């Protein structure tokens, strides 16, 4: 199985994030996550791990606003130049705005903090010196996997970090800066219809934002109900697309404590929708934060449950581009991801 991975993800390691209630905590989305997955994959005889190819900015700018990408590229250097305290000890700092835009009337301002509040939706999308470089490499992993799946009519895995499904057309959020799955799905959509299935515990708000008015990419997200769970303002069942995209987006919000049986019942319904859509390829946003005991989730999925998710998605018998998203129970993460992937080898 082709697996694309870049060590450049290590350039993105903020020293903290700001958690609910204003508490500063160590960054949950950290390099140890990738090390755990790589350790599990290196034990196999079927994981063919490669560096991603360079695809340039064009595939990214097809789904993301140019001004937003330019902000990601320049933010850290601008902040470093404008704040002497940051320049003294950059390794202890991360860029975060304190004022966030209410988008009904907002537009990006000339000030860096104003642009930060416009282009960042929360306090977990921390920017440090290597964030943009890591985000580009992550997107190239996704594009390399999509290209491999298409060219060889097989399945592939993009071991993406930072993840991507919370990044919208023109905003970062939830540890995500470039929407890797959406970049891959958009690239594949030029070859035929695509279904994008998001099984991360949190709603794929960025993916929903990007494809909400399109009919060539069916998007489905199964997640914790936003009535109690992040991202709170996206992911309700009534959100089904607009304009040409009406009916081509589905959300399945689930209650706290959802276990294997209830989850797999909903997954089967999602897969029926995918079969009815008759796509030529699948993009799977694979998050493992639905695992029981994950510090950022409330579901009770077991390792067997993850194996069954992989088995049922693989049962579509379509080229599948698997994109790594969340999952923060690090000790179990590698084996959980392996359990999904072995169904596609």
List active site positions: 166
Enter the DSSP assignment of 301.
B
Distance of CA 68 to the CA centre of its chain: 17
DSSP state at residue 13 = -
Q: What number of CA atoms fall less than 13 Å from residue 205's CA on the CB side?
A: 25
Handedness of CA 7, 12, 16, 21 (dihedral sign): negative
Please give the order of strands across the beta sheet that includes 320-324. Answer: 48-50, 2-4, 156-158, 320-324, 281-286, 194-198, 217-224, 249-254
Alpha helices in 196-326 (DSSP H): 205-211, 260-277, 303-314
Q: Which of 238, 241, 256 is nearest to 209 (CA)?
A: 241
> What does the alpha-carbon distance between residue 159 and residue 35 come to, in Å, rounded to a whole number?
11
Distance of alpha carbon 306 from alpha carbon 93, whole angstroms: 37
């Amino acid at each position: 199985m082709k697996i694309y991975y870049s060590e450049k993800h290590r350039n993105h390691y903020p020293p903290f994030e700001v958690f609910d209630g204003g508490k500063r905590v160590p960054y949950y989305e950290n390099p140890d996550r990738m090390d755990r997955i790589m350790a599990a994959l290196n034990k196999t005889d079927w994981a063919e791990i490669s560096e991603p190819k360079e695809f340039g900015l064009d595939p990214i700018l097809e789904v993301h606003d140019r001004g937003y990408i330019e902000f990601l590229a320049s933010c850290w250097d601008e902040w470093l130049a404008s704040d002497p305290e940051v320049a003294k000890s950059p390794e202890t700092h991360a860029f975060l705005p304190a004022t966030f835009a209410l988008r009904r009337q907002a537009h990006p301002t000339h000030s860096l903090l104003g642009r930060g509040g416009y282009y960042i939706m929360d306090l977990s999308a921390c920017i440090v010196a290597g964030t943009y470089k890591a985000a580009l490499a992550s997107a190239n992993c996704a594009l390399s996997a999509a290209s491999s799946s298409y060219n060889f009519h097989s399945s592939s895995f993009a071991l993406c970090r930072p993840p991507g499904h919370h990044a919208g057309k023109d905003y970062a959020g939830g540890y995500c800066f470039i929407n890797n799955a959406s970049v891959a799905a958009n690239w594949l959509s030029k070859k035929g219809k695509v279904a994008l299935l998001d099984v991360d515990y949190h709603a794929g708000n960025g993916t929903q934002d990007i494809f909400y008015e399109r009919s060539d990419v069916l998007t489905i997200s199964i997640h914790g109900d936003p009535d109690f769970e992040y991202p709170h303002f996206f992911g309700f069942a009534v959100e089904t697309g607009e304009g040409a995209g009406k009916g081509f987006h589905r959300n399945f919000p689930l209650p706290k404590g959802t276990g294997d049986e209830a989850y797999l019942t909903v997954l089967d319904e999602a897969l029926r929708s995918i079969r009815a859509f008759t796509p030529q390829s699948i993009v799977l946003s694979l998050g493992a934060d639905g695992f029981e005991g994950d510090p950022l989730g409330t579901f009770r999925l077991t390792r067997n449950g993850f194996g069954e998710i992989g088995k049922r998605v693989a049962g579509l018998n379509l080229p599948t581009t698997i994109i790594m998203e969340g999952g923060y129970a690090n000790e179990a993460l590698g084996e959980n991801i392996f359990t999904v992937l072995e169904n596609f080898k």
